[in-house]
């Protein structure tokens, strides 16, 4: 087993080797194996990530392996001794985002990946080390190992349970595309949509609004339902929508516009028993 570091800094992204003594290497091999067992325990179900919900306790989320993740797989399947060694004298500047190990053969490699944060660097704060029954201040480069895995990579899939932790390691922007100004022009030009001031709408459009516009554009909701049907559906969940010459007026108010777009994206619903209305980020289909 070789302990590898995934580094992202001004020089680019790179996989580097963390040198270890044999006893430490053997101990970490057992530790990462145990952490993988804990990662998988009671999670027999794997579900494809769609960006809109959190997994249940018995589920792991999966994503197709991205080119960035493939960089780690290629490094793990190659000659570890040929990889550059982490600069121990400038450890903090290496920009380590994850540490990981691999198991299995080429073509069937499995990666066990931990997120790495600056809080794990002991030399950032005063740490005392016991030596000859006395504590001395730690002056050497030192770091702690995480207590759990962030993800496992195998069979072309990235498996995880926390999007927040995963995106701290990898760029997942391709799964959360935002509408460009051209996309907003296309959205505003749809026969079912009316935006009074498109330029102002672009200027005020937050990241959330742009993501919602992108999702609505790439769905069939504006084609499958007439403006009148959309107006009636919105009214059923307490959202008042006006029509202008048969087209839906997108609210000028940013909060109302966001709520309207969430409605189009199936993100607003009414509880059947209580009648309470909610905005949801969890849209797992039943």
Domain boundary assignment for the chain? 4-175, 181-279
The pLDDT, as a whole number, for residue 121 is 83
Q: Which of 108-112, 123-127, 161-165 has the lowest mean pLDDT?
A: 123-127
Residue 259 has pLDDT above 60, yes or no: yes
Percent with pLDDT over 90 in the chain: 58
Cβ pair 152, 113 in contact under 8 A: yes
Residue 52 has pLDDT above 60, yes or no: no
Percentage helix, strand, coil for the chain under 3-state DSSP, each rounded to 5: 35, 25, 40
What backbone torsions phi and psi does residue 165 show, to the nearest 5 degrees?
-70, -35
The pLDDT, as a whole number, for residue 240 is 92
Residue 146 has pLDDT above 90, yes or no: yes
Mean per-residue pLDDT of the chain: 89
The pLDDT, as a whole number, for residue 166 is 93
DSSP state for residue 232 in the 8-state scheme = H
- Does an H or E element contain 32, and which? helix 22-40
The pLDDT, as a whole number, for residue 230 is 95
How far from chain centre, in Å, is Cα 16? 23
The residue behind tokens 């993501």 is 211
Q: How confident is the model at residue 274 (pLDDT cuts 50, 70, 90)?
A: confident
Contacts of 82 (CB under 8 A, 6+ apart): none
Average of per-residue pLDDT across 28-35: 95
Q: How confident is the model at residue 55 (pLDDT cuts 50, 70, 90)?
A: confident
Q: How confident is the model at residue 272 (pLDDT cuts 50, 70, 90)?
A: confident
CA 114 – CA 76 distance, rounded (Å): 15
**Alpha-helical runs (H) found in 218-253:** 221-224, 227-236
Residue 210 has pLDDT above 80, yes or no: yes
Residue 80 has pLDDT above 60, yes or no: yes
Cβ pair 235, 241 in contact under 8 A: yes
Average of per-residue pLDDT across 216-242: 92
pTM exceeds 0.85 for this model: no
Average of per-residue pLDDT across 132-160: 90
CA 71 – CA 8 distance, rounded (Å): 12
Say how many Å lie between the first and final Cα of the chain, rounded. Answer: 42
Is residue 151 classed as helix, strand or coil in its secondary structure? strand
The pLDDT, as a whole number, for residue 139 is 78
Q: How confident is the model at residue 106 (pLDDT cuts 50, 70, 90)?
A: confident
CA 80 – CA 86 distance, rounded (Å): 12
Average of per-residue pLDDT across 148-166: 94
Cβ pair 190, 224 in contact under 8 A: no
Cβ pair 78, 84 in contact under 8 A: no
Tokens standing for 272?
């059947």
CA 140 – CA 156 distance, rounded (Å): 39
Give the residue, 274 or 196, on which the prediction is more confident.
196
């Amino acid at each position: 087993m070789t302990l590898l570091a995934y580094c992202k800094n001004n020089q680019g992204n790179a996989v580097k080797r963390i040198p270890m003594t044999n006893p430490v290497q053997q101990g970490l091999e057992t530790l990462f194996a145990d952490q993988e067992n804990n990662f998988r325990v009671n999670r027999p179900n794997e579900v494809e990530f769609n960006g809109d919900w959190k997994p249940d306790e018995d589920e792991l989320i999966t994503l197709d392996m991205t080119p960035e993740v493939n960089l780690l797989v290629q490094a793990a399947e190659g000659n570890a001794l040929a990889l550059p060694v982490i600069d121990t004298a400038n450890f903090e500047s290496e920009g380590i985002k994850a540490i990981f190990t691999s198991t299995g053969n080429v073509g069937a490699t499995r990666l066990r990946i931990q997120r790495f944060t600056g809080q794990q660097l002991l030399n950032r704060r005063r740490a005392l080390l016991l030596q000859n029954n006395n504590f001395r201040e730690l002056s050497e480069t030192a770091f702690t190992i995480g207590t759990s895995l962030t993800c496992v990579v195998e069979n072309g899939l990235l498996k995880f349970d926390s999007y927040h932790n995963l995106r701290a390691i990898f760029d997942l922007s391709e799964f959360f595309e935002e509408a460009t100004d051209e996309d907003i022009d296309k959205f505003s030009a749809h026969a079912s949509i009316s935006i009074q001031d498109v330029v102002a709408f672009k200027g005020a459009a937050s990241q959330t609004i742009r993501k919602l516009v992108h999702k609505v554009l790439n769905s069939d909701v504006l084609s499958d339902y007439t403006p009148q049907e959309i107006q009636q559906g919105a009214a059923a969940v307490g959202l008042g929508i006006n029509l202008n010459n048969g087209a839906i007026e997108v609210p000028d108010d940013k909060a109302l516009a966001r709520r309207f777009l969430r409605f189009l994206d199936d993100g607003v619903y009414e509880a059947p028993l209580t009648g309470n209305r909610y905005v949801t980020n969890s849209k797992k289909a039943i």
